[in-house]
Structure 1
């Protein structure tokens, strides 16, 4: 691993968006937050932050409530989506607490105003937080129903001038089918956004893929379960799939 002039490990990117699902925080519980898992993920993030990388984050809310699932059970879609947005705020606050417990400065920035618990989204203020080396967790999606947290991650990544989006999954990249059910599944080292859409590969929703592709933003998909995986990718190592325009 090469070293920068400051003595810290050299990194591939200086500012990134990390997108993780809410399910990544629930451990083996099947629902809610698992504090040891939240702390483990926080330590992975802190290790990258210590390398001098400016980190934006978007965390899903599926471990608490998923708007689309609520809508499928008869709930009005807009209401269900707003409930899902509130779930992302809960996850963001939990991650903020874990990161600050490790000594990292962190801000939760919400697309829906709730001034007592989170800052409102103001782009210039968020950029300033990053410049001051604070981790920014963007919560409540885009603030609009019918848009997923994948789209929120793509949107905020472009607004914050991130150099890449890193998506932490339960597998070490993108496969042509589910590797958990098919041992012959093929993993891609590199693939284009058009091929992701053409082959209907479940990476991000189509709106997020289109937004990311149109803004020439690279996407790296890696396993969040691999110890040191996030840090390894930032040092130009590790196993992942790179999606390119």
Structure 2
């Protein structure tokens, strides 16, 4: 299947992809490899913005399960995403890529507050904008934040970089017979509860006609390949 060409994209990275082979925290070499892929995509002429999760440091829902107040736990998770955003900014700027971090929770000494018009202007000037702290509200995942920012930025697509090369009908890590989908409709994803993104994020993308492209970000060069219409990925979109 020939995938459409996308110019302006939002890249959603889970916090876990920044761990490398570790079990916790941020692996500098892994972050550098991610930054190199993003820099290559920018050099190819794409406008990019990024949302990074915080699961490599602290995940709100997991903290709540262990006894933390859910609201407090979610705010802690949001702060973890700021740490990841700063790490990614540092790696990108070492490669000469002009970058801005905007946080939904204002922290003027560290980064800019999230201001939509300012973020759009940064992208128009060729800068990569990294959105941190989710939506700034508890009970919303970074998946939902990614869908929201993609809509606000007028993105052509939301690219979800994971450790698998698309969406399968079963977990490919535990089921060798799992089949990968080349293309799916939003309705199928929601009806079958396929683990693409959380339901709120999928519905937001559906309602705003923003395709979700799921691919393996751990494979070096794969982001550029998928953006070029090559490489292996699953695209979730509205069916005609």
The answer to whether the superposition gives a TM-score over 0.5 is yes
Q: Deviations over 1:20-57 (max 9, x none)?
A: 10000001110000000000000000000111111010
**Secondary structure, counterpart of 1:18 in structure 2:** strand
Residue 152 of structure 2 corresponds to residue 159 of structure 1? yes
Q: Whole-Å Cα distance in 2 between the matches of residues 163 and 19 of structure 1?
A: 14
Q: Of 202, 220, 223, which residue of structure 1 is paired with 2:213?
A: 220
**Secondary structure, counterpart of 2:219 in structure 1:** coil
Q: Cα offset for 1:105?
A: 0.2
Q: Show the 5 A alignment for 1:225-240.
A: 225-240=218-233
Q: Whole-Å Cα distance in 2 between the matches of residues 56 and 81 of structure 1?
A: 23
1:33 alignment partner in structure 2: 26
2:137 alignment partner in structure 1: 144
Q: Whole-Å Cα distance in 1 between the matches of residues 38 and 205 of structure 2?
A: 23
Q: Cα offset for 1:198?
A: 1.1
**Secondary structure, counterpart of 1:133 in structure 2:** coil
Structure 2's unaligned 5+ residue stretches are: none
Q: CA RMSD in A?
A: 0.8
- TM-score w.r.t. the length of structure 2 is 0.97
**Secondary structure, counterpart of 1:156 in structure 2:** helix
Q: Deviations over 1:135-194 (max 9, x none)?
A: 000000000000000000000000000000000011100001100110100100000111
Q: Deviations over 1:85-106 (max 9, x none)?
A: 0000000000000000000000
1:49 alignment partner in structure 2: 42
Q: For this pair of structures, how many residues does the alignment match?
A: 235
Residue 163 of structure 2 corresponds to residue 170 of structure 1? yes
Q: Of 73, 85, 90, which residue of structure 2 is paired with 1:97?
A: 90
2:66 alignment partner in structure 1: 73
1:108 alignment partner in structure 2: 101
1:20 alignment partner in structure 2: 13
**Secondary structure, counterpart of 1:167 in structure 2:** strand
Structure 1's unaligned 5+ residue stretches are: 1-10
